[in-house]
Structure 1
Amino acid sequence: MHIGSFRFAPPWWGVLITAVGVAILSALGVWQIERAHYKERLVAEHAAAERAGPQHLQLDVADVESGNGPRHGYRYIFVGHYDAAHQLLLSNQVEGTQTGYRVWTPLILDSGVRVMVDRGWVPKTGDRGAPRPNPKAPTGEMTVRGYWQGFPQPGLRFGADQQCNLAGWPRALNYPAPATVRCQYRAPVANGLLLLDPKAPGGFVRDWDEDAIGLRPWAHYVYASQWFLMAMIAVIILVVVNTRRRS
């Protein structure tokens, strides 16, 4: 290709490599823009939750079955009593350098619905064959405050992991799916966790990160511009390296 007094003649493999690189870099830039849009929605939802403040909520069976339960990121106040005899332990949870469990205790509401309350982290004690911890819980009617979130997810989940044939309590589970949590109880269970307020009694180590937003939208836009800039630089390099002045 001749452009004035210059000749642009890149090898086919150079064009191919550059095209593939530009496509990948541009795709990464578009992905970062999509993440920025998602974070913008998340910021708006978080702001709405902050404005709403703590809300008293009484769930019934119809709410649980229809999915009209608590909303992620909102603070709620429930009234009920703990069922400390049927607790779940989230396995392999690390605090500092020590391994332990997160204690999930059902809070039984007047409607019979169970709300799983994450009361915090407890250390794993004893040898490998030592019994699991079974922390006590306050008795009587309780007013429980906390922050609502979904059940924690593993990085990868392979196949169906529903385990309903476990014997004895407390039961230790490793990142159970919501269906696995529900099938431990012969009663409706709300789909999510109430992270017990750090100042509330009856809990353990609670260093909740209530900021689920992470990187703000502007940071994703910056990363997107970097990917697009790298794609542009790749094209510029192809042109500069393969352009020569005609004799």
Structure 2
Amino acid sequence: MRRGFVTTLVFGLIGLSILISLGIWQMRRIPQKAAVIAQIEAMIHDAPVALPEQPDPLRDAYLPVTVRGTFGDAELHVLVSSRDYGAGFRIIAPLTTDTGRTVMVDRGYVPTAAKSATRPKGTVEVIGNLQWPDERDRFIPEDDLEANYWYARDVVKMAEALGTEPILIVARETTGVGILPMPASVASIPNNHFSYMVQWFLFAAVWFGMTSLLLWRMRTKRG
């Protein structure tokens, strides 16, 4: 009986220490993640630079760039819901730059009724941020390419459809009348470490309570 009591006590202490350690780790991650988000926020609003020859999705995510070129006739329509404007579409269009490169520009939001409207073309200067959004998961339906209904911004897939480099510039300013820019922001970067911390500490409290109850019952039965 004593051996079982000691074994349960040791097992309970090990489990408790693991859960508390995980909670402390999440607690330390809160300011670390906040610092990362602040750094990205500062980068987003930096002065724009020329488009890199070979941008890297990790190194250059959110890099502010400026390009000058001409929009092509094709465009993709990505379904989006704006808190301020309601349901509509992001307009993804190919842009052939003055240097001969063809990249994609997320021109911004148009309401559903303007999905098939004619968009302003011509030579433009686009200031925006490079992005490689990770928006597709198992809950996102497949894109309807025939109807031009896209449900996520998949840079590689969109580039194949438009015949461009796999580079997406999210416009910071308007690129034409009737198009509302949806600039890059840190709103989509979560800092959930506080809730994770609370969860692990709650698990630790429950573990402690259950272990204590079990030890009390074992001791009472022994007595």
Normalised by the length of structure 2, the TM-score is: 0.68
Structure 1 segment 1-247 matched on structure 2, within 5 A = 9=5, 25=19, 29=23, 32=26, 36=30, 39=33, 42-43=36-37, 45-46=39-40, 49=43, 53-60=46-53, 63=54, 67=56, 71-83=60-72, 85-91=73-79, 93-96=80-83, 98-125=86-113, 133-156=115-138, 171-175=148-152, 177-190=154-167, 193-198=168-173, 201-202=176-177, 204-208=179-183, 210-212=185-187, 213-215=189-191, 220=193, 223-224=196-197, 227-228=200-201, 230-243=203-216, 244=219
1:162·1:179 contact (CA, 8 Å) conserved in 2? Answer: no
2:44·2:184 contact (CA, 8 Å) conserved in 1? Answer: no
Letter in 1 for 2:78: L
Deviation of the 1:87 alpha carbon: 0.6
Are residues 178 and 54 of structure 1, via their aligned partners in 2, closer, same or farther at CA, if it must alter by over 3 Å? same
The separation in 1 between residues aligned to 2:68 and 2:173, in whole angstroms, is: 18
Are residues 203 and 30 of structure 1, via their aligned partners in 2, closer, same or farther at CA, if it must alter by over 3 Å? farther
Give the share of equivalent positions with the same residue, in percent: 23
Q: Which has the higher helix share?
A: 2
Q: Which has the higher strand share?
A: 1
The separation in 2 between residues aligned to 1:38 and 1:113, in whole angstroms, is: 38
Are residues 185 and 139 of structure 1, via their aligned partners in 2, closer, same or farther at CA, if it must alter by over 3 Å? closer
Are residues 28 and 200 of structure 1, via their aligned partners in 2, closer, same or farther at CA, if it must alter by over 3 Å? farther
Q: CA RMSD in A?
A: 4.5
Runs of 5+ consecutive residues of structure 1 not aligned to the other structure: 126-131
The separation in 1 between residues aligned to 2:39 and 2:178, in whole angstroms, is: 28
SS of residue in 2 equivalent to 1:111: coil
Deviation of the 1:223 alpha carbon: 3.8
Deviation of the 1:77 alpha carbon: 1.2
Are residues 47 and 162 of structure 1, via their aligned partners in 2, closer, same or farther at CA, if it must alter by over 3 Å? closer
Are residues 69 and 145 of structure 1, via their aligned partners in 2, closer, same or farther at CA, if it must alter by over 3 Å? farther
Deviation of the 1:227 alpha carbon: 1.1
> What is the CA deviation profile of residues 93-133 of structure 1, one whole-angstrom value per residue up to 9, with x for unaligned ones?
223484321111222112332222212222223xxxxxx82
> Which has the higher mean CA deviation after the structures are superposed, 108-117 or 74-83?
108-117
